[in-house]
Amino acid sequence: MDSCGSCCGSNVKFEGLSADYKRRLWIVIAINAGMFFAETAGGALAKSQALQADALDFLGDALTYGITLAAIGAAATVRAKAALFKGVTLSLMGLWVFGSTAYHVLVLGVPKAEWMGAVGFAALAANVSSVLLLAKYKDGDANVRSVWLCSRNDAVGNVAVMLAAGAVYWTATAWPDLIVAAVMAGLFLWSATQILKQAIAEIREAQNHAVPAE
């Protein structure tokens, strides 16, 4: 993937210091916050664990983008620690979805496929818009990269929800919905691992540069 920092022959990673990037983040924050409330309601009406997991992802993204904005321009260690916090939060989200899905396997009825499809389509449109807005800045330091990973999670997750809605309709069972929720939880954890690894590496690098040469 091409990074904004390398497009001019530099190895310095993009740190978010761009008015255009900040404007795009504000728009994406608004989209994600709005879709969190819409999809939470839709997930409850559809009795869909996949939709509720995706709604949680929207909330996590809105918070992630807010933290990213706050950390832009801060010291390298501060930006890396912000990414570290986001990685831990994303891990907790993934674990919660795994646990919730396991619980719903025992008590959840068959989701309403029509609601799943309608809400999933609206969420997919919102996520594609966010991905297009942020595609120009998909690489960078851990603080910036966490934004792209969350955006990608959203798009992948909503495609999966749409597929689950079709499978629920044809099979008349809840299993496709639950499987998609579990896959999304796994995606949360995988992305969190990537963010945490990069953040820890950047913290160590910043600390090494802070040590005065003897």
Note the pLDDT tens digit of each residue in 26-69: 999 999 899 899 888 887 887 777 677 778 778 877 887 888 88
User: Is the predicted pLDDT of residue 113 greater than 60, yes or no?
Assistant: yes
Phi-psi region of 171 (alpha: psi -120 to 50; beta: other; left: phi over 0): alpha
CA-based nearest residue to 95, from 194, 200, 184: 184
Confidence at residue 4, expressed as pLDDT on a 0 to 100 scale = 41
pTM here? 0.64
Confidence at residue 2, expressed as pLDDT on a 0 to 100 scale = 37
- Give yes or no for a contact between 1 and 13, defined as CB atoms under 8 angstroms apart: no
Alpha-carbon torsion angle 160, 120, 98, 172, nearest 10: -80
Q: What is the per-residue pLDDT across 140-170, written as a single tens digit (0 to 9) for each?
A: 777 777 777 777 777 777 787 777 778 877 8
Q: Where are the beta strands (DSSP E) in the chain?
A: none
Cα–Cα dist 172/2, whole Å: 44
Segment holding 189, helix H or strand E: helix 175-210
Alpha-helical regions (H) of the chain:
19-46, 49-71, 76-107, 113-134, 142-171, 175-210
Residues 6 or more apart whose CB falls under 8 angstroms from that of 213 comprise none
One-letter amino acid of 63: L
- Read off the tokens for 52: 């509720």
- Give yes or no for a contact between 176 and 164, defined as CB atoms under 8 angstroms apart: yes
- Read off the tokens for 194: 């990537």
Confidence at residue 31, expressed as pLDDT on a 0 to 100 scale = 92
